[in-house]
Amino acid sequence: MNMPHQASTVYIVDDDEAVRDSLRWLLEANGYRVRAYANAEIFLAEYDADQVGVLIADVRMPGMSGLELQEQLLARKAPLPVVFITGHGDVPMAVSTMKKGAVDFLEKPFNESDLREIVARMLEQANQRVTQANAQRTHDAMLARLTAREQQVLERIVAGRLNKQIADDLGISIKTVEAHRANIMEKLEVTTVADLMKVALTKPEAHA
């Protein structure tokens, strides 16, 4: 990890300036690009969901709490792993938050090796989430090229229907079904039925 994270950003949201400064110093010393915010509202106003990164947020802050911030990110379907800073060892809160997709906790006082390990792991997750989101967009865009009739034909090809059966289903000629099949193959950039099935049936997950 020589040039670790030039395309990634670690976001820090904490109302305690001393905590923000110490986290920034530790992370920048390890080659991370860091952006720090004193509250969740400012962070949300500036956050760009296309930017690969990880969020380190204090659980308890004036105004919007870290947990409420997480809810906002979930509502936006933001592909941003969250690490909560907590000095409270609140196990029930941790369990319920993990179920909502939070990825880890950093307990105060935190040390540099823990911080490095968690951030590296979370950035790996962030990259996976963005890759999945991009795959989903590409997949959806390819299928969106099809006309309504082509989508009907594709559904029946996937269901294993023969050309004659598809023609009967849709009240069109076999030649028209064949023409639609050729258009579908061209638009989805495949040359075999096996590849066509793979594109039609693959549903990439945007993020966990």
DSSP symbol at 102: -
pLDDT at 6 over 60: no
pLDDT in tens, 117-172: 888 888 888 888 778 878 888 888 888 999 999 999 999 999 999 999 999 999 99
pLDDT at 95: 61
pLDDT at 21: 92
Residue 49 lies in a domain: yes
Q: Do 90 and 186 lie in a common domain?
A: no
Q: Do 88 and 151 lie in a common domain?
A: no
pLDDT in tens, 172-204: 999 999 999 999 999 998 999 888 888 888 765
Q: Is 86 left (phi over 0), alpha (psi -120 to 50) or beta?
A: beta
pLDDT at 41: 93
Say if CB 14 and CB 57 are below 8 A apart: yes
User: What sign does the dihedral 90-95-96-100 (CA atoms) show?
Assistant: positive
d(CA 166, CA 168): 5
How big is the chain, counted in residues? 208
User: What sign does the dihedral 125-25-43-32 (CA atoms) show?
Assistant: negative
pLDDT in tens, 80-118: 888 888 876 666 666 666 666 657 788 777 788 888 888
d(CA 108, CA 39): 19
- Which pLDDT band holds residue 3 (cuts at 50, 70, 90)? very low
| pTM confidence score | 0.66
Consecutive H or E run containing 84: strand 82-86
pLDDT at 52: 82
Say if CB 107 and CB 154 are below 8 A apart: no
Helices 112-144, 17-29: crossing angle, 10 deg rounding: 80
DSSP symbol at 110: P
Say if CB 199 and CB 151 are below 8 A apart: no
CATH code for the domain in which residue 171 is found = 1.10.10.10
Which of 101, 134, 167 lies at the terminal end of a domain, its last residue?
134
Residue, of 103 and 10, whose pLDDT is higher? 10
CA angle 157, 162, 137 (to 5 degrees): 5
Q: Do 65 and 155 lie in a common domain?
A: no
pLDDT at 17: 93
Q: Which domain holds residue 175?
A: 141-201
